[in-house]
Structure 1
Amino acid sequence: MYVYLLEINFIIYDAFSLKDKRRTVRSILDYARKNLNISAAEISDLDILNKAHLGFVTISNSNKVARKIIDDLINRIESTYPIEILEKNIERLA
């Protein structure tokens, strides 16, 4: 069993209100949950207009599959949304 944790901090360039921020964050979380079957949540910076801190967890019986899911998520976030990633931490827990 392989468990991967991804923590990502980023700035959202098109967020001029909390509603704009929530739209972007919700889109990222929904994509991760529905398409990649990843557990996802906003974990801090809830009331900051243009900054988000998200956490994602995936579990698999294959190390390659679990890592690929995390990498696919990062690539999707970087290529689709108008953001700048400040920090990302990938950790294999098991």
Structure 2
Amino acid sequence: MVVGVLRLALLIRGARSLKDKRSALRRIIERVRARYNVSIAEVGDNDIWQRALVGVTAVANDRSFVNEVLDKVVRDVEMLGVADLVGREMELETYSEMHERPDKPMLDEPPPMPQSEEQAAREEAEALAEYLREDDFGPEGGGR
């Protein structure tokens, strides 16, 4: 699984209020959502009239596909002409398949449960006894 994260720093020159800014951002966000299967949202500079920080994410099983989609998003935002792109940052992260990672349990595997209430009570008592020994409260520690 490949996760791509794109951050776009935008300058909205025509914005004279937050309402103008949000109107411009709405055009950008709706256009990107309509054309690409990505998540997109304003993620920073929320109260600054002429600046916006927009985050875009894409997930797929092919690294080059995710890279291509995010590059197309950048081109579309620039071509729309609603805002100037003043900065961009893209990261692609590859995650291995869960069955390939023996150190990580599968999501559908519940954690091991005690076999009975009696066993659970015994384990709890043993844990408490160990805790008391470690904190010098037990007969072996002699108190504080």
Q: Same fold (TM over 0.5)?
A: yes
% same residue: 29
2:29 is matched with 29
SS of the equivalent of 2:22 reads helix
1:37-52 paired onto structure 2 within 5 Å: 37-52=37-52
Distance change in 2, residues 1:59/1:31 (3 Å): same
Following TM superposition, by how much is the alpha carbon of 1:76 offset from its aligned partner in structure 2, in angstroms? 0.5
Following TM superposition, by how much is the alpha carbon of 1:10 offset from its aligned partner in structure 2, in angstroms? 1.4
1:9 is matched with 9
Q: What is the aligned residue count?
A: 94
Moved over 3 A (4+): none
**Contact 1:2/1:92 (8 A) holds in 2:** yes
Task: Give ranges in structure 1 of 5+ residues lacking alignment.
Answer: none
- Letter matched to residue 77 of structure 1: V
**Contact 1:24/1:81 (8 A) holds in 2:** no
- Structure 2 length-normalised TM: 0.61
**Contact 2:10/2:87 (8 A) holds in 1:** yes
**Contact 1:7/1:88 (8 A) holds in 2:** yes
SS of the equivalent of 1:93 reads strand
2:69 is matched with 69
Following TM superposition, by how much is the alpha carbon of 1:64 offset from its aligned partner in structure 2, in angstroms? 1.9
C-alpha separation in 2, matches of 1:31 and 1:79: 11
1:16-47 per-position Cα deviation (integer Å, ceiling 9, x unaligned): 11111101111111222232011111111111
RMSD: 1.2
Task: Give ranges in structure 2 of 5+ residues lacking alignment.
Answer: 95-144
- Structure 1 length-normalised TM: 0.91
Higher Rg of the two aligned structures: 2
Following TM superposition, by how much is the alpha carbon of 1:48 offset from its aligned partner in structure 2, in angstroms? 0.6
